[in-house]
Structure 1
């Protein structure tokens, strides 16, 4: 196989590995609060919202140490061992205990930082300037398909189940654990690409450290990386964008954990309420893939700038929030396992609930594609620390949102999202205006 074919095969294997892993983990996150409420045991007092808050909080802090871990043991082993931590978290639900639940949450937070750092390195060393866009698209598409398969399995497994029994729970999580482990072992099929005279080769030589003696050479770049990230964090551009980034963390929490729980709690949806959590996840995935594909391509012909896409995302989310407010009972996020009999302001509609799922995914892709685009443009000379700041802010806000989801009724959560979305969009418009002004000045100077 020629070198380019070898690198492309590595990207495909990487995508399939993540697809299997996140088919299991995203499905787990989508259903875990519903599962926990149905688990009758005096020995277990965990909360799915608290667990996800811990995961995202630890994830944000662990981004500082992740480059060193990947540098010492290499990206392949880093992804494998991080994947085992994900699998352990999922397997914990087979026989859950409070101490193991929260311990696994901390470990997954650390593993997530290492996993995504290693993924970025593998993508880099298998790409060049002409193939990075294609390879990123292949990886993104395969990753997003994880929203389909796991949620479809949940729909089929729980169809017609009003109560999730211990056997139902164990069957689902044993299956998800096996799926996750398949993804882990796929990483061993990735082969070291033939070296090229490119920055990627330098990156690979750094990350393929073979002895502890190299650790001292790794820590210095890591500290420099942290210093650069801190400097970028306090720039005017990043301070403006931080509001928009924070909003993506809040709405990430809502669509990935809270909204599915709300749907499963609505007894007025009938016996299919629990299985509808899976269909909701599929609708979110359709919105994400559609939006990511369309708006990702629009970045190549950026004639009207990024603001129209962000405005579309804001309008899409506001429509979704308003319909959810009308359709879903206010106590749905906190309802017991039996669900809630309350009605909101209209007769509860499954079709409206699933439409909102699609709109949540579509709006999320609007914000994320444009944020990635503008950060890559504004901080092109320091893209790695800039994207680390992006992940840090997003993860902190996601952790905060999962924490308050334990206590706030649905309408208060929606109000927070509306205010944060409006303010974040306004700040993005200002940042885009600054970016456009900078581009015009650069074009003028070149002329």
Structure 2
């Protein structure tokens, strides 16, 4: 080995050589578990391995191929295309003539577009290729239904702190690992916690920390790890789960949880301007007329974010989130708007009543536009008595809640309904 032929990274050197060496995923690999039964039966079909980074998706795919004696073709959807799939098909056809099956491993399968995924279909369906796709994204959203129906999805879980710790211990004792390196229990415990279930990151950080000091200390782990950024895929399910958690915490009036999820998003690299837009939406959807000032404050927070940028503008978003969480809640306008949109989409397109029509020209006035309209300030009773909806249309949309400002106007709303002859039995 020379300077120009460096050793493989520690995670690669410690990659399990047998299924027995795999740490974690006991729900798939334990006695009687799904993957164990598949391997024992020898009737392996196509699989999609879905799970977070660093939990062994690639390792499992390699071990599965070895267990069933299949030829293994690894591709990454980041760099591969239809041409690479065709080459894999050609190789699989050649090997099938010798009686050998082929497993095509497609890492980050969610990066393949619809056309690229469709190119796999006939070869997976015919059995020429046994596909094992790996993805960190929810296959329900990212993998074509036709391909998904031909593969079994197995969900991999993040490793526990105890499982990560066992891998770190292995790295210090296995000849393939870091011979001669020691580490304090505090350092290993810290690294197991910071890794958040990602074995690859834990081992890579340990290798870097070992170059800083031996024995490895907590300070070396912190330096090697760098800034701790909460895990979040900015375009995937994690991102939308965090948005959902933030929205539901605000709706549930839980201030601390609202701040926590906001921080998780912003520290994880979410677009603060997008977050600001979602906060404005919350002000309309869940606070509404219970506190009409909420929308103004959230618009101001969005403007402050635009003006200041990150990180200064994030404080304005935090202020808005706390205000929304503390505010009285009303979704009455939100519910009314959904009802009326459905009514408009599903109902007839009826003409505007003649007395409500605009009459800017003499021709329109001659046709009766605007005639019979009772102007409220001239004739309040007549104004209430006239019809404001198309003929034959009856709607019951808005129902004020008993919270905040809306509670104060609820009585006025009931009087207006009575005056318009609505809400009557």
Which TM-score band (shorter chain)? under 0.3
The TM-score with structure 2 as length reference comes to 0.22
Structure with the largest fraction of helix: 1
Whichever of the two has the greater Rg, that structure is 2
Structure with the largest fraction of strand: 2
The TM-score with structure 1 as length reference comes to 0.21
Higher relative contact order (CA 8 A, sep 6+): 1
